[in-house]
Amino acid sequence: MIKANYPVNKLKEIQTPFYYYDLDVLRSTLQEINEQTANLNFQVHYAMKANVNPSVLKTIMEAGLGADCVSGGEVQAAIDAGIPASKVVFAGVGKADWEINLGLDNDIFCFNVESIPELEVINELAGAKNKKASVALRINPNVSAHTHHYITTGLNENKFGINMSELDKVTDLIKTLPNIHLVGIHFHIGSQITDMSSFQALCVRINELQEYFENRGIKLKHINVGGGLGINYEHPNHFPIPDFESYFKVFSHHLSLHDDQTLHFELGRSVVAQCGSLISKVLYVKEGTSKKFAILDAGFTELIRPALYQAYHRIENLSSDLPEEKYDVVGPICESSDTFAKDYSMNGTKRGDIIALRSAGAYGEIMASQYNLRKLPKAYTSDELK
């Protein structure tokens, strides 16, 4: 089994469980994004929901990415991290008044608006401040993302965005709203998408919609295609950096952009997933009737993805070179769903071994909970442990 290069001796000294971020992997990922989008009218916003660890965020800010936020808390965190408000987009089906006001007060780049009542409220709140809010309409393109149904967002049955059948109504309404400035359209079809044809289908739909807006005399300065690029959870050592080249090429080849239009992306998982690991210790190895359980000191409180989405995370025993055996790798939480993997082959395991749950940089730390009154774990970076 090929294992990543961890500072194992240093990791052994630290109280587990904790998150470990390899900032060199993150920097290489960001460099690849910047190289692939150089000289193009492309602006990448980091989807803050994936991870807001301060060191991670600082590294992303330094690479010049904007921010995609879905709450007032995220808007504030982006601004506090030094990401310019002019690069902040704010999405979400349920923005509260205070959150909209926060966006207005900071003159964020754009609100991604998901419904008619939201448009009316933004118009009213902007009016009260004598401001004009820049908005992009989040349109539900009814394009399948071919991913887990919990992380599919662009189908008619999903709660997100404005349905295409409502567009006449919405564009007519916008003409009557004095404090709304329509700057673009926005989409997001889902997450962990590895089939590029889904993004291609999105491009086809956007080209049709561009025609629709042009026919109505509406000029759109910005097209935002959301996020969703998937990563390789099976082989993080072989594919530490997602295939940004193919991803961005789909859009340059299939989307008919005008020269004065900017294309925006909201990437979360693909930016941060592979730089992070959840590091845990084996508390006990328990012999069941027909199987062995490796019981870790980390559970779904630290990494909920396997329990919530049946997600696969690669698991490595960093302390063992013994021949592989099969284990059910489980956490200490009092629920059967607190299982990271079943019948999982890893090097022979004993109490005290250090385990890395890989690809945990996205939707790991940020989704941690204190269920069972557990403490929220700390995080360390490769820079600190060098």
What is the Cα–Cα distance from 184 to 215, expressed in whole angstroms?
A: 15
Which residue in 266, 297, 338, 365 binds ligand LLP (CB under 6 A)? 266
Assess 192 for contact with ligand LLP (CB under 6 A): yes
Residue number with CB closer to ligand LLP (50 or 88): 50
Q: At what angle do helices 196-215 and 244-254 cross, to 10 degrees?
A: 30
Assess 225 for contact with ligand LLP (CB under 6 A): no
Outline where DSSP puts E strands in 131-206.
133-140, 162-163, 180-186
**Candidates 2-10, 53-61, 164-172, 224-232; binding stretch for ligand LLP (CB under 6 A):** 224-232
Assess 88 for contact with ligand LLP (CB under 6 A): no
Contact letters (x/-) for ligand LLP, 267-296, by CB under 6 A?
xxxx--------------------------
Which residue in 25, 47, 182, 355 binds ligand LLP (CB under 6 A)? 47
Assess 43 for contact with ligand LLP (CB under 6 A): no
Assess 68 for contact with ligand LLP (CB under 6 A): yes
Report, in Å, the least distance between residue 233 CB and ligand LLP. Answer: 10
What is the Cα–Cα distance from 106 to 223, expressed in whole angstroms?
A: 22
Contact 203, 224 (CB under 8 A): no
Helix (H, G, I), strand (E, B) or coil at 160: coil
CA of 37: how far to CAs of 40, 241, 264, 332, in Å?
6, 15, 11, 44
Residue number with CB closer to ligand LLP (50 or 182): 50
What is the Cα–Cα distance from 113 to 186, expressed in whole angstroms?
A: 8
Q: Is the dihedral of CA 188, 194, 195, 197 positive or negative?
A: positive
**Which residues, including other chains, have CB under 8 Å from residue 21's CB and lie 6 or more apart?**
53, 55, 56, 275, 276, 361, 379, 380, 381, 382
- Inter-residue long-range contacts of 163-170, CB under 8 Å, 24+ positions, other chains counted: 163/139, 164/139, 164/140, 164/209, 166/116, 167/137, 167/139, 167/212, 169/116, 170/116, 170/119, 170/137
Assess 50 for contact with ligand LLP (CB under 6 A): yes
The burial of 370, by beta-carbon neighbours within 10 Å (0-12 exposed, 13-18 middle, 19 or more buried), is given as exposed
Q: Cα–Cα–Cα angle for 185, 187, 190, nearest 5°?
A: 175
Q: At what angle do helices 116-128 and 167-175 cross, to 10 degrees?
A: 10
**Candidates 18-26, 260-268, 316-324, 334-342; binding stretch for ligand LLP (CB under 6 A):** 260-268
Residue number with CB closer to ligand LLP (50 or 110): 50
Report, in Å, the least distance between residue 107 CB and ligand LLP. Answer: 21
Assess 140 for contact with ligand LLP (CB under 6 A): no
Residue number with CB closer to ligand LLP (264 or 281): 264
Assess 298 for contact with ligand LLP (CB under 6 A): no
Residue number with CB closer to ligand LLP (103 or 226): 226
Contact 174, 150 (CB under 8 A): no
Report, in Å, the least distance between residue 13 CB and ligand LLP. Answer: 30
Report, in Å, the least distance between residue 284 CB and ligand LLP. Answer: 28
Which residue in 16, 53, 71, 191 binds ligand LLP (CB under 6 A)? 191
The footprint of ligand LLP on residues 348-367 (CB under 6 A) is 363
Assess 243 for contact with ligand LLP (CB under 6 A): no
Indicate the Cα dihedral angle 307, 52, 133, 37, nearest 10°.
-100
Assess 143 for contact with ligand LLP (CB under 6 A): no
Residue number with CB closer to ligand LLP (50 or 354): 50
Report, in Å, the least distance between residue 314 CB and ligand LLP. Answer: 15
Assess 222 for contact with ligand LLP (CB under 6 A): no
**Candidates 46-54, 162-170, 199-207, 286-294; binding stretch for ligand LLP (CB under 6 A):** 46-54
- Phi, psi values for residue 170, rounded to 5°: -70, -45
What is the Cα–Cα distance from 57 to 108, expressed in whole angstroms?
A: 18
Report, in Å, the least distance between residue 217 CB and ligand LLP. Answer: 28
What is the Cα–Cα distance from 107 to 88, expressed in whole angstroms?
A: 9
Residues found near ligand LLP in the complex (CB under 6 A): 47, 49-50, 68, 91, 151, 153, 188, 191-192, 226-229, 266-270, 305, 309, 363
